[in-house]
Amino acid sequence: MKRISKRILALVLSLVCLIPMLGMVASAYEVDLPIVYVAGKYSTIYSADDTRQLYQLDPLLSVTIKENASTLVAAYNTSNTTGNWKYFADAIYDTVEPRYRELKLNGNGEVTNGTHIHPSEAPKAKTSNFYLHDYMFYYDSRLDPYENASRLNDYINQILAVTGKTKVNLIGRCIGTCIVMTYLTVYGCSKVNATIFYAPAVNGVFAMSSYFTNNFYFDYDNFSYYLDNNFNDEGNGSETIRALYDALNGIGLFALGLRTANDVWAKTSPFLLQRLILATIGTWPGHWTMIGSQYEYKNSTLGDKPNEVYEKAKRLVFAGKTAEYAGLIQKIDKYHYNVNNKISETLDNCMKRGMKFAVVAKYNTPLMPLSDRSKIQADGTVELRSMSFGATAADIGTTLSASYIRAAKNARGDKYVSKYLSADGVIDASTCDYPEQTWFIRDVGHAEYPSEINQLFLCIFRSKSQYTVRTNSNYPQFVKYDSANDKISPITAEDTPSQSSDSSGGGSNISNFFKRISDYIINFAIKVLEFLGLR
């Protein structure tokens, strides 16, 4: 009997000790103020009758292209024979345009055919223990960011009403940062405790501007590097593809092929590009937000000034059509000159008023080889310099040179620069606008979201003062991501990239040789075409 009593007592004591621990575990995932997540992933758009889904990044476009391959080849042959490249331009347009027809907006940048998104759910009536994904704000990213910012303001007011709070926390991701930036510009930060920009596109996306200014081409030098960094998984035929590339490149045929592609594009684009842009994403004011910002164009081939790039894009897209698209132009001008050109001014004013701010950028995933910048540090979609508000970085696979580091230390001070250099020698964060509030994650693609990074977000939201890269040793400024274990850990000197490039490759898997080569070429071509709808 005594033994049973002791066991019961021990169980009770264990439970008494366990209850506070459970509370600690739960609190690790909770904050005191609501968190509004403005996603970057596109919300699905539905047809007017709500029966069909329309995708802005259209996964069916690749199928359409394959189905029309014979027509495209015939049109190419006709143009190549006759010298009239309008045949080929028309064939491309006729293939792509139907996939985007229902998504197109009118000359005022407005929906006229009833296509729509499913709106955010009514806010939960909670008063405490707020989680990261309690309040997801969904929006039609085609639309004017001012319109989406107004809806975000309404959503925040609803949240405050049902929670009894006076402030919220904001997370903006990718193009969602453009909506958050517009909100802060128009409505201020009186209702915002902290804002986090995660892989932000608010400072522009080079690929988008390249498309809108006809400034991209197939770079055969960087294609080799793209192969090295994106086709290195076992079992995908990369050894065979690598061997074929080396052989063709050795005799000049691979370069000739890409140079031919560039030549064909130069002949075709005058008949195609303007109407293709207007048929796909050119009527969407939401996507003009990613063109012509202050960071991505420093030392860029696009232009020396952000407004120069933006105005160049307008001239190309709206040539001869300014009256037809006057309403749309007015909307995109309003964003560019009142939001885009004043990003730092707006953020600085908000921080002076007590709003906490942080940036989380990604790197070590190369861009597609469609420009001379495809080896710059990026997350596969957005360039590191833009994401990080101005970080200086070596090209992927290299480190910052000793001469650069010496010059940087002479200009800004040895101690100052040293504390912002990544241990892998790739990044100098001292050139960021907000170096103490900018984190970098290595080996994370743009669409990836390591779950552990949520803990950093929660720490920032819980902090009573501005959280910095020095606040918590568990989350230093530079971390790497282990996708196999979904873990992040500090960058070390062991992560320094090799300065050499291994161009060797085997060719042992011959049985599926031609199929693998064909599949790769087709998939790469599809990626290029889907680039036209890149976020």
| Predicted pLDDT at 526 | 53
Neighbours of 326 (CB within 10 A): 12
- Beta bridge partners of residue 383, listed in sequence order: 378
Q: Is 255 exposed, middle or buried (0-12, 13-18, 19+ CB in 10 A)?
A: middle
The pTM of the full predicted model, rounded to 2 decimals, is 0.85
Which residue reads 């990604």 in tokens?
Answer: 362
Question: What is the token pair recorded at 10?
Answer: 């021990």
pLDDT of amino acid 66: 75
What's the pLDDT score for residue 58?
63
**CA neighbor of 283 nearest in space, from 132, 410, 156, 113:** 113
Q: Please, which residues have CB within 8 angstroms of residue 421's CB and are 6 or more apart in sequence?
A: 400, 405, 427, 428, 429, 430
Please list, residue by residue across 128-143, b when 16 or more beta carbons sit within 10 angstroms of its beta carbon and e when fewer do. Answer: eebebebbebbbbbbb
Q: What contacts 464, CB < 8 A, 6 or more positions away?
A: none
| Local confidence pLDDT in tens for the 535 residues of the chain | 445 554 444 444 443 334 333 333 344 567 899 999 998 867 789 999 999 998 776 656 666 777 888 888 899 889 999 999 999 999 999 999 998 999 999 999 999 999 999 988 899 999 999 998 899 999 999 999 999 999 999 999 999 999 999 999 999 999 999 999 999 999 999 999 999 999 999 998 888 888 898 887 777 667 766 666 654 443 344 455 556 556 656 656 566 666 777 888 899 999 999 999 999 999 999 999 999 766 655 545 555 566 888 999 999 999 999 999 999 999 999 999 999 999 999 999 999 999 999 999 999 988 877 776 778 899 988 999 999 999 999 998 899 999 999 999 999 999 999 999 999 999 999 999 999 999 999 998 888 888 888 999 999 999 999 999 999 999 999 999 988 888 889 999 998 986 533 332 333 333 344 444 445 555 555 555 555 444 4
In the chain, what are the domains? 35-47+118-203+340-476 (3.40.50)
**Please, are residues 240 and 212 in contact by the beta-carbon 8 Å criterion?**
no
Mind giving me the DSSP string for 373-392? TTTSSBBSSSBHHHHTTS-E
- Collect all residues with Cβ–Cβ distance below 8 Å to 456 and sequence separation of at least 6: 360, 439, 475
Residue 250: what pLDDT?
62
